[in-house]
Amino acid sequence: GAVVSQHPSRVICKSGTSVKIECRSLDFQATTMFWYRQFPKQSLMLMATSNEGSKATYEQGVEKDKFLINHASLTLSTLTVTSAHPEDSSFYICSARDLQGTGNTIYFGEGSWLTVV
């Protein structure tokens, strides 16, 4: 079946640096991908909707200049956390929409744990 791969699964970075997380659809084309984050003991919240070839749509309260999203191809979306701070430490997970097959199925990646020290 369709698989969405996220990389890295875990990353530790120093405060003030930037870190990139990749989300790939392995056997289908994804015109739309979604990025979520989950703070400890909280629910997953949508950060932004990534559309291939166009700018991402950010949810209210999410800084677009801090969380850069690039969806340059039909199989890859990247989330870059710029100038990371400890409060950005979280679980980030992507999902991708497969328009083929049975149509409009969404698959989730494995998630990425970011720790900023």
Partner 1 sequence: KQEVTQIPAALSVPEGENLVLNCSFTDSAIYNLQWFRQDPGKGLTSLLLIQSSQREQTSGRLNASLDKSSGRSTLYIAASQPGDSATYLCAVTYSTGNQFYFGTGTSLTVIP
HEC assignment per residue over the chain: CCCEEEECCEEEECCCCCEEEEEEECCCCCCEEEEEEECCCCCCEEEEEEECCCCCEECCCCCCCCEEEEEEECCEEEEEECCCCHHHCEEEEEEEEECCCCCCEEEECCCEEEEEC
Which residues are at the interface with partner 1 (CB under 8 A)?
6, 9, 32, 34, 36, 42-46, 49, 93, 95, 97, 99, 103-106, 108-111, 113
CB of 54 to partner 1, least distance (A): 17
CB of 17 to partner 1, least distance (A): 23
CB of 76 to partner 1, least distance (A): 18
Give whichever of 18 and 39 is closer to partner 1, judged by the CB atom: 39
